[in-house]
């Protein structure tokens, strides 16, 4: 079994999924069959990788700040 098989059907949470690295990780995990959820600030740039990959429609995307202790 390779590591791709490990993630198939697994639920994965990525913090910072709207950033460059998080967008790539989300895309790879989706390709290997993971169910991806993300928690992050809104996409940091206009026409970000997150938007270019269409990830908003492919994962459970929640916008927020992990430093916000009130919520």
Write out pLDDT tens, residues 52-62: 999 999 999 99
Task: Round to whole Å and give the CA distance between 21 and 19.
Answer: 6
pLDDT at 62: 95
Task: Round to whole Å and give the CA distance between 7 and 12.
Answer: 8
Write out pLDDT tens, residues 9-62: 999 999 999 999 999 999 999 999 999 999 999 988 888 999 999 999 999 999
Decide: 3 and 27 in contact? Cβ < 8 Å: no
- Name the pTM for this structure: 0.86
Task: Round to whole Å and give the CA distance between 45 and 24.
Answer: 15
Where are the strands (E) in the chain, listed by range?
Answer: 11-15, 35-40, 60-63
The more confident residue out of 71 and 15 is 15
Decide: 24 and 48 in contact? Cβ < 8 Å: no
pLDDT at 45: 84
């Amino acid at each position: 079994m390779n590591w791709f098989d490990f993630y198939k059907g697994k639920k994965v949470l990525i913090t910072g999924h709207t950033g460059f690295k998080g967008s790539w990780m989300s895309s790879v995990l989706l390709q290997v069959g993971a169910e991806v959820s993300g928690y992050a600030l809104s996409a940091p740039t206009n026409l970000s990788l997150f938007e270019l990959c269409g990830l908003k429609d492919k994962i459970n995307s929640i916008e927020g700040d992990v430093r916000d202790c009130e919520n």
